[in-house]
Amino acid sequence: MRKPSDRSKEAQAIFRNHGGILRMREAIEFGITRTVLYSMLDRGFIERLHRGLYRLTELPSLGNPDLVAVSRKAPNAVICLISALAFHEITTHIPHEVQIAIRRHTRQPRITYPPTRLFYFGEKAITAGVETHLIDGTEVRIFSAAKTVADCFKYRNKIGFDVAIEALRMFHEARRLRPSELMKFAAVCRVEKIIRPYLEALL
């Protein structure tokens, strides 16, 4: 009969083999019982990030825990708008929710925490400019900075026109703005005529 310490070590190994973060459902599927999971939590081997999501405490501190948590719960979603601006450091606005894009006509993911806001994107808009970043051992899908700026102009009535204009200015000041790239995504978002005068004023 295996000792509790042996089961804990095996469970920790399972966590490590899957990036150090598991949902309870995943842990159970991999053979970790609820009893072992709660024992590991009590003994400080793992920590609860959010409801039903656990992480090995031996890992380095999380840099973007909310983005990681949402990406684990909605792997097909893409971090967008103000959340993506914050990731790319081209906004002064502090996101109070994780904003994600999902395909139109798809089932809404169940995310009770962290606070999440959904935006439905069409086929072209959901696939253009998607980058995959490895954050704390988890692959997180995030729109590129240029695509995000274009998206902000498209959704200006929902997030604020000032957010979009500031993002364009900060993107330019960071010397990362390539006009041709931005206008390519502006065409995808059908906001070329709206962005063009603001872009020309910067150049």
Place of tokens 């070590």: 9
What are 140's strand-pairing partners?
133
Closest CA to 97 of 111, 114, 121, 72: 114
pTM for the whole thing?
A: 0.78
pLDDT tens per residue, the chain (203 residues)? 445 567 888 999 998 888 788 888 889 999 999 999 999 999 999 988 777 888 888 877 666 888 998 998 898 999 999 999 999 999 999 888 899 999 988 888 888 778 899 999 999 999 999 999 998 888 999 999 999 999 999 999 999 999 999 999 999 999 899 999 999 999 999 999 999 999 999 88
How far apart (Å, rounded) are the C-alpha atoms in residues 10 and 13?
5
Contacts of 178 (CB under 8 A, 6+ apart): 146
DSSP 36: H
pLDDT of residue 1: 44
Contacts of 28 (CB under 8 A, 6+ apart): 34
Handedness of CA 103, 104, 105, 110 (dihedral sign): positive
How far apart (Å, rounded) are the C-alpha atoms in residues 55 and 53?
7
Whether 81 and 119 have beta carbons less than 8 Å apart is answered as yes
Task: Tell whether omega for the bond before 114 is within 30 degrees of 0, i.e. cis.
Answer: yes
